[in-house]
């Protein structure tokens, strides 16, 4: 099979690494890819949102399957673009249709879906500029902290959690009236605050059946002890110690089953990964959000624990035979620590030469914001490199991660030294 992977982060390098190992895989391409994917596949200079260029490329190289990494092309309808044309409808696209991708593309859509299907989540109301006054009164009726969410995609920045009522009111106005997040905040979801510890659940579905992948937990804040600004993710662990068998069963029964049944009932075509962001509130799993893709950096710990052939699973998924597959999972823990550019998630410099990668023997290196330049690997983004290790438990795996990191350096390199601190 010829496979094209869309994206350029650590998640896509991990997916490429895994699919490359499949006996079913002939030619493997990544658009646009990075310095990690270039070592094991062919990078193609096409943007993930340039559907026409992707179509030409797919036809020229006789691509059989497209695996979509990030949410953007999914929310923009890449699935439908390929499925609605006679020349490309035979190509498998791993991901939801445009209408189903609203589970991530619109918080209001996702909340309505959850309420319609009885899936546990925070209470909420949605507001627009026309209902601003009602929104302000609604805030007055709540207790702090106040959770305000831009309805649309806002590059992970659209959620505000505020302690102060006056500030919450000002921000609601900024979002609805002053377009703080552009079109994404035309509608704002105001939500009940949930207090608990978060985890990420990944599901493969063909719209009919499902397979639950290993649970993971990511660390979003830049600072140690989960302080400071939000990032794309500074590290991750899998499995999640507090997600024992009973808790996973609860998630399956109360969240995964009604989600997959809901997709079918609502006629939302979906053949891909569902990422369910959960929070454990005193033993009750509640959904914080849906994403219609794998997580990053969770993929860098979940995929290394998958022993089954991922491409075989994806073929079965596309054929609607997911149920015929058995998942085989590595018992070991996997952890990843993200090396980031100094200054990230605020402004940072790029083009720093990364030294020492070849000296790392005990960890997997998934390149993220890193590209090839003049025979060197240089930084090209905020999150630069995910250092993944295995261990008998997450503590042992992390020890190996941190030992490997000692061998890598670049100017102003930063990383969190306390991944897993709360477990």
CB of 226 to ligand GLY, least distance (A): 14
CB of 248 to ligand GLY, least distance (A): 19
Pick what 288 binds: ligand GLY, ligand AMP, none; C-beta below 5 to 8 Å, kind-dependent. ligand AMP
CB of 220 to ligand AMP, least distance (A): 6
Which positions from 155 through 214 interact with ligand AMP, judged by CB under 6 A? 159, 161, 191-194, 198
CA 295 to chain centre: 2
User: Which residue in the set 77, 262, 277, 342 belongs to the binding site for ligand AMP (CB under 6 A)?
Assistant: 277
CB of 289 to ligand GLY, least distance (A): 8
Which positions from 97 through 156 interact with ligand AMP, judged by CB under 6 A? 122, 147, 149
User: Cα torsion at 181, 183, 184, 188 (round to 10°)?
Assistant: 90
Nearer to ligand AMP by Cβ, of 80 and 289: the residue is 289
265 CB neighbour count, 10 Å cutoff: 11
Q: Is 298 in the site for ligand AMP (CB under 6 A)?
A: no
Residue 151 in contact with residue 189, Cβ under 8 Å?
yes
Omega into 345 within 30° of 0, i.e. cis?
Answer: yes
Question: How far are the Cα atoms of 33, 120, 321, 374 from residue 188, in angstroms, in the given order?
Answer: 34, 20, 39, 46
The residue number whose beta carbon is nearest to ligand GLY equals 295
Binding site for ligand GLY (CB under 6 A): 218, 233, 291, 295-296, 298
Containing 106, the helix (H) or strand (E) segment is none
CB of 275 to ligand GLY, least distance (A): 7
What is 324-371 written as a DSSP string?
G----B-SSEEEEEEEEETTTTS-----PBPB-GGG--SSEEEESSEE
How many whole angstroms separate alpha carbon 303 and alpha carbon 269?
Answer: 24
Q: How many residues line the site for ligand AMP (CB under 6 A)? A: 13
Pick what 291 binds: ligand GLY, ligand AMP, none; C-beta below 5 to 8 Å, kind-dependent. ligand GLY
Please report, as ranges, the residues that interact with ligand AMP according to CB under 6 A.
122, 147, 149, 159, 161, 191-194, 198, 277, 288-289
């Amino acid at each position: 099979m010829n496979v094209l992977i869309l994206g350029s982060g650590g998640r896509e390098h991990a997916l490429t690494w895994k699919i490359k190992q499949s006996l079913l895989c002939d030619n493997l391409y990544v658009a646009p890819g990075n310095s990690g994917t270039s070592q094991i596949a062919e990078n193609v200079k096409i943007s993930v949102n340039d559907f026409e260029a992707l179509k030409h490329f797919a036809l020229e190289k006789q691509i059989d399957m497209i695996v979509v990494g990030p949410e953007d092309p999914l929310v923009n309808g890449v699935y439908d673009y390929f499925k609605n044309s006679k020349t490309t409808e035979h190509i498998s696209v791993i991901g939801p249709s445009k209408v189903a991708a609203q589970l991530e593309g619109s918080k209001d859509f996702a909340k309505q879906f959850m309420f319609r299907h009885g899936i546990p989540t925070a209470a909420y109301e949605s507001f627009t500029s026309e209902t601003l006054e009602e929104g302000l009164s609604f805030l007055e009726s709540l207790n702090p902290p106040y959770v305000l969410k831009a309805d649309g995609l806002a590059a992970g920045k659209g959620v505000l959690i505020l302690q102060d009522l006056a500030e919450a009111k000002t921000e609601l106005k900024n979002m609805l009236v002053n377009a703080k997040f552009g079109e994404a905040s035309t509608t704002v979801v105001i939500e009940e605050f949930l207090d608990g510890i978060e985890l990420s659940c990944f599901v493969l579905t063909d719209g009919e059946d499902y397979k639950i992948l290993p649970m993971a937990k990511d660390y979003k804040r830049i600072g140690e002890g989960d302080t400071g600004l939000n990032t794309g993710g500074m590290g991750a662990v899998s499995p999640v110690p507090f997600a024992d068998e009973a808790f996973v069963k609860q998630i399956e029964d109360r969240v995964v089953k009604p989600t997959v049944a809901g997709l079918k009932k609502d006629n939302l075509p979906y053949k891909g990964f569902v990422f369910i962001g959960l929070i454990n509130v005193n033993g009750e799993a509640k959904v914080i959000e849906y994403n219609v893709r794998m997580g990053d950096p969770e993929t860098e710990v979940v995929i290394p624990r998958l022993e089954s052939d991922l491409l075989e699973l994806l073929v079965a998924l596309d054929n609607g035979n997911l149920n015929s597959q058995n998942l085989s999972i590595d018992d070991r823990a996997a952890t990843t620590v993200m090396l980031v550019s100094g200054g990230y998630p605020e402004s940072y410099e790029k083009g720093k030469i990364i030294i020492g990668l070849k000296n790392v023997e005990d960890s997997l290196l998934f390149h993220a914001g890193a590209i090839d330049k003049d025979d060197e690997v240089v930084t090209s983004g905020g999150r630069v490199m995910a250092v993944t290790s295995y261990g008998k438990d997450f503590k042992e795996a992390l020890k190996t991660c941190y030992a490997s990191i000692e061998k890598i350096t670049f100017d102003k390199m930063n990383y969190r030294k306390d991944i897993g601190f709360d477990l």
